[in-house]
């Protein structure tokens, strides 16, 4: 479909890292079915490095593609490096998203941070990249909040 570029379509049709991790070290969910997009990301962390990540997404083509590429991007990164991943980098990695779909990349960005937040909470860790992060913020109006990103 002309709306999406080939890379977005490839990630949508053949998404990487679909599923859930047993005994995940961190698990984060962002968005809501009411908004039309909800993303769940699980991470496995060893020595502060994200060794594995899986996702499950209820959402449109770009939400699934954003989830796929975001999990690809954070596997192998340190937690600090993963926290530094922005929605703009996710968009760049996808080769661009239509303006109306930018919120999908924000969803992926927030789901990553939510998973790391959960990991930090469970392990008594604190990360600079999580300062001020509220995993429950703006779930109901993330479409609107994304427009200013």
Partner 1 sequence: MRQVYLDYSATTPVKEDVLKEMIPYFTENFGNPSSLYTIGAASKEAIEKARTQVAKLIHAQEKELFFTSSGTEADNWAVLGAADTLKAKGNHIITTKIEHHAMLHSCEYLEKHGYEVTYLDVKPDGRVDPEALKAAITDKTILISIMFVNNEIGTVEPIKELAAIAKERGILFHTDAVQALGNVPIDVKDLGVDLMSISAHKIYGPKGIGALYIRKGVKLSNFIHGGGQESKKRAGTENLPGIVGFGKAAELAGENLDSHVAKISGLRDYFIDQITSKIENVTVNGSREFRHPGNANLTFEFIEGEAMLLYLDLRGIAVSTGSACSSASLSPSHVLSAIGVPVENIHGSLRFTVGDFTTKEDLDYVVTELVEVVNKLRNISSISKTKGW
Helices (H), 75-126: 79-83, 87-93, 102-123
* Among positions 7, 10, 16, 18, the unique one binding partner 1 when judged by CB under 8 A: 18
Which one of 9-17, 71-79, 81-89, 129-137 is the stretch in contact with partner 1 (CB under 8 A)? 9-17
Please tell me whether residue 40 binds partner 1 under the rule CB under 8 A: yes
Residue with token string 């239509």: 98
Which residues touch 82 (CB under 8 Å, ≥6 apart)?
Answer: 50, 74, 112, 116
* Among positions 11, 25, 29, 106, the unique one binding partner 1 when judged by CB under 8 A: 29
> What would the two tokens of residue 145 be?
């909040």
CB closer to partner 1 out of 36 and 95? 36
Q: Which of residues 49-68 bind partner 1 (CB under 8 A)?
A: 55-61, 63-64
């Amino acid at each position: 479909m002309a709306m999406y570029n080939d890379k977005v379509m490839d990630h949508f049709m053949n998404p990487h890292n679909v599923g859930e991790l047993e005994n995940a070290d961190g698990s984060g969910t962002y968005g809501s079915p009411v908004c039309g997009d909800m993303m769940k990301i699980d991470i496995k962390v060893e020595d502060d490095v994200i060794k594995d990540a899986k996702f499950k997404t209820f959402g449109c083509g770009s939400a699934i593609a954003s989830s796929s590429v975001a999990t690809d991007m954070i596997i192998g990164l340190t937690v600090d490096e993963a926290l530094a991943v922005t929605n703009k980098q996710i968009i760049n990695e996808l080769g661009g998203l239509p303006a109306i779909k930018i919120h999908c990349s924000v969803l992926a960005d927030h789901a990553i941070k939510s998973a790391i937040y959960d990991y930090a909470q469970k392990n008594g860790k604190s990360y600079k990249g999580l300062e001020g992060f509220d995993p429950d913020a703006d779930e109901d109006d993330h479409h609107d909040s994304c427009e200013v990103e």
